[in-house]
A = this chain, B = another copy of it.
């Protein structure tokens, strides 16, 4: 998919906007001065949007020319002209015409010969151009930047999972100590969840559709010029590397972009969960992970021991901004008749969602690449509960030997263990009643009971299996 989806000729724009060093402090949106991912400008900026719309207009004329309905010469002219159009002049024209696509078409025509002008925007409605352009630029943004960035984060996390596949850590539930796991296992969960969302984002980007079906979606105007407008729509879209849906109205069905946003927000949600977990592990009382000072761990001007986890905080905070935007997507599912335009302004904000997400991913990559476990602290915390941590397996094993009172007995022993700072297992071995059951346990069972660090189930194995699974997937995807 990735090659065929590439839109024709965007390299100039990519080069130009990639060099763009403007940061706009007279801006209101923090995207412009603080959270802008410049590599996305060739797809998500207004300049880029106009470029993509011009490319769609080019594709339309080309398809007509290939059918012999307009001269090939017109196709060559629009190709040259469309490449020169810029946002500033289009907006100045819109100020006169009060119509964005009429303005674009006028500026394209301006640099064309009188004879060729009538070929431009032939039989098209504004949203044939706009929705197709959005499909192209969103897909390009995902294939060129967002999915590769997501893959990079996944790789960094796979590294963390593998490096720490056997680093002992106390698992937590309810923010309380649970049972031992490994740090790599806990990170593998994020690998799998984020990887899953990444694949869904890719599928949703692949499913985006364009249209050339006219103002009502019924090919009214198109049918004046070609006898087979449904086939012709495919030819137009093939020119720009897109496909149509089976039916559209004045606009493409809103569910396709909606799904892309849903999976994107879901991926951001996984990052937010990870960021929350990690900054809690950086509490001074816990201190199980370490990050270098810098952009993601800010200094305190005065307190030397303070390690403010600003990288993680930022990822979470951007999720708070991004997540509610799904509501707008749901609202835009509703548009009366062939469409009522109340999705117009709201839809212009969709690129913000992708930019904010990618900014968060980029930050997550840097943090994940720098993140180190603090195995000694993990052991210290684990050992805080070592005397009772095996109460669970102890009870399970004694019960399995037939003790009807295992639960109550072990609970009492646990209380004693905490008070006397002794291991609950050694107390059980001394207990006249319980020792009877203890003696029936297998050697490896006794071994687990005596060494909580062995009570980690399949944590190591799962950590490695998940790492391997996603290494393989990433290799297949070739991001």
Size of the chain A interface, CB-CB below 8 angstroms: 185
| Interface presence of A8 (CB below 8 A) | no
Name which residue of chain B comes closest to A34, CB basis. Answer: B348
| Bound: A333/B247 CA distance, A | 33
* CB-based contact A462/B192 at 8 Å: no
A402 / chain B contacts, CB cutoff of 8 Å: 115, 118
| Interface presence of A313 (CB below 8 A) | yes
Name which residue of chain B comes closest to A459, CB basis. Answer: B218
Partner of A321, one of B192, B279, B349: B349
* CB-based contact A324/B321 at 8 Å: no
* CB-based contact A336/B41 at 8 Å: no
* Interchain Cβ contacts under 8 Å between A and B, 26 examples: A23-B88, A26-B47, A98-B298, A175-B309, A175-B340, A176-B309, A177-B306, A178-B303, A178-B338, A189-B248, A224-B448, A230-B461, A266-B333, A273-B333, A276-B334, A285-B286, A285-B381, A304-B388, A304-B414, A304-B415, A310-B344, A317-B346, A320-B332, A320-B346, A321-B345, A323-B327
Name which residue of chain B comes closest to A284, CB basis. Answer: B177
Identify 12 new A-B residue pairs, CB closer than 8 A, beyond the known A118-B406, A317-B347: A28-B351, A98-B294, A172-B337, A174-B341, A176-B300, A176-B309, A179-B218, A181-B218, A270-B333, A280-B336, A304-B388, A304-B414
A225 / chain B contacts, CB cutoff of 8 Å: 396, 400
| Interface presence of A325 (CB below 8 A) | yes
| Segment 226-249 of A: residues with Cβ below 8 Å from B | 229-230, 245-249
A177 / chain B contacts, CB cutoff of 8 Å: 284, 303, 305-306
A429 / chain B contacts, CB cutoff of 8 Å: none
| Bound: A54/B130 CA distance, A | 43
Number of copies: 4
Partner of A457, one of B27, B223, B318, B323: B223
| Interface presence of A479 (CB below 8 A) | no
Segment at the B interface, from A142-150, A151-159, A209-217: A209-217
Q: Given A23-B91, A175-B283, A385-B284: A342 and B317 within 8 A (CB)? A: yes
* CB-based contact A175/B282 at 8 Å: yes
| Interface presence of A301 (CB below 8 A) | yes
